[in-house]
A and B are shown apart, each in its own frame.
Chain A
């Protein structure tokens, strides 16, 4: 049974593109174009991982990461952004995100980071 990944981005074509890439990588994908739907899907579908844009009109990726970290078990979040500044990188760490992607990124990089985090997460859980 493939893991389910939730993709959140207000840029609908970007969200769809990430879904296409991850489906090609063998994952199940859910897509949300706004944070309200993303929070709802996180609660109802319990995805294994969230890939979220940082800058969105109604909320931001940091909020997404904080919400996901309150879940039990925690849901790892990969944040992606088109703003490449050192401040953003620091904020990503502080928000407790598991990974960080700078747009544009090679498709292989997205698949690699998702696979690595899922592996770590499974190992982490088994250790507990």
Chain B
């Protein structure tokens, strides 16, 4: 142990057993001297018997002493072994002991769980079964060079390390290598392993959010730069239309097309601008039913004219959602308008709100139509940016809906059957603390 200071050289008297022997010798010599001088028969049998009995008693005491000390030492060793074992297996971090030949000597429960192996399954097997196949060769070489000059250090600095689970899947990890100098004949490397999947996923999400924010500001700039020329095209087309002779129907039609398309391009630019508006929204308690009612107020008349019947089933005691009401309303309006577009011949729009059946603390809102439905091959692309099946669509609506729900720690799912209709379901976390929810409801 490098850290502990050298103990002092033991003096003869520091061991209690030595003290007992010295004391005995002192008593024995004193006895011999006293008996030689004063005992009437110093060489008698009785005197010798006393001497022999005293020596025998000393031997017995010393023997018993030795036994009990060995026993105490053994039980202490056992106890510390048990404690070490408890620490070893209770550790959240993976701990793996590897022999110089690459065989795993011991693996704790965290390692077994991390790599998907059962208890005791790893011991005795080569450590390379935990290494992705693509880096196997490198790993063997690295291990050999490490063992030539072993020292404690983090493994693979600057590299993205990965582990291979029993099922062949890979996951990111961090490893610190600790060389244990041989105390006995055996030597080994102790690896401390951390599964960093969650951290890597979080970092990826953060990077994506930053990219989206950057894209949002670029989109705002593009929208502005587009809207100016589009305004000029649209206004000038209108001016020309107003000055045009009645007898020139073709030219009139051409100008109408120009004007209409300028307006369409502007709608796309405005769609891009909503990306920018998505940033940095403020959270407040939102009653999802109020959003539904507000949306229906806006579109009710249009739906009646389109021969669409609106059926609602809104849970009156629906819990509040921590969210951005503008963004959530935009999602809802988008779903409702998509439903209208899916039912050009009319049909039913059904909106249902209530607590999620299978998840406590979550709320569900579904928007279902009886329209044309979505083909199965289109469904996986539905939430992709710029994906649209409509001639005048921007491909932003459902993508924004997906993003908004994700930002609210919720999700959006779709079920569809061609010819029967489509149902979108939003699942959102609710405000669990009733006091806060009630307080803000009164305050608003």
Contact = CB atoms under 8 A, between A and B. Distances in A.
B279 to A, nearest CB: 10
Contacts of B239: 17, 20-21, 24, 107
A55 B221 CA distance: 12
B277 A85 contact: yes
Contacts of A85: 220, 273, 276-277
A13 B233 CA distance: 10
A29 to B, nearest CB: 14
B227 A104 contact: yes
Nearest to A85: B277
A18 interface: yes
Interface stretch (B27-35, B38-46, B156-164, B262-270): B262-270
B349 to A, nearest CB: 28
A75 to B, nearest CB: 23
Given A20-B239, A21-B239, A24-B239, A103 B231 contact: yes
A40 interface: no
Nearest to B241: A107
Contacts of B227: 82, 84, 103-104
Contact of B277 (A14, A55, A86): A86
B17 to A, nearest CB: 89
B232 A17 contact: yes
A104 B224 contact: no
Contact of B235 (A17, A55, A86): A17
Given A21-B239, A24-B239, A107-B239, A84 B231 contact: no
B273 A21 contact: no
B232 A13 contact: yes
A11 interface: yes
B74 to A, nearest CB: 77
Interface residues of A, number: 19
Interface in B230-268: 230-236, 238-239, 242, 262-263, 266
A82 B223 contact: yes
Contacts of B262: 104
B235 A107 contact: yes
B206 interface: no
B232 A107 contact: no
Contacts of B277: 85-86
Contacts of A103: 227-228, 230-231, 266
B230 A55 contact: no
A108 to B, nearest CB: 8
Contacts of B228: 11, 14, 82, 103
Interface in B197-235: 220, 223-228, 230-235
B231 A14 contact: yes
A2 interface: no
Contacts of A21: 235, 238-239
A104 B230 contact: yes
B270 A14 contact: no
Contacts of A83: 220, 223-224, 273
B224 to A, nearest CB: 5
A111 B273 CA distance: 26
A106 interface: yes
B224 A55 contact: yes
A30 to B, nearest CB: 18
Interface in A62-104: 82-86, 103-104
Contacts of A105: 231, 235
A95 B234 CA distance: 28
B225 to A, nearest CB: 8
A11 B220 CA distance: 18
Nearest to B276: A85
Contacts of B223: 82-84
Interface in B43-65: none
Nearest to B262: A104
A24 B242 contact: yes
A20 B231 CA distance: 13
B224 A82 contact: yes
A55 B239 CA distance: 25
B32 to A, nearest CB: 110
Interface string A31-49: 0000000000000000000
11 contacts: A17-B239, A82-B223, A82-B226, A83-B224, A84-B227, A86-B277, A103-B227, A104-B232, A104-B234, A104-B262, A107-B238
Interface of B: 220, 223-228, 230-236, 238-239, 242, 262-263, 266, 270, 273, 276-277, 326
Closest 9 CB pairs of A and B: A82-B227, A104-B231, A103-B231, A104-B234, A82-B224, A107-B238, A17-B235, A103-B227, A104-B230
Interface of A: 11, 13-14, 17-18, 20-21, 24, 55, 82-86, 103-107
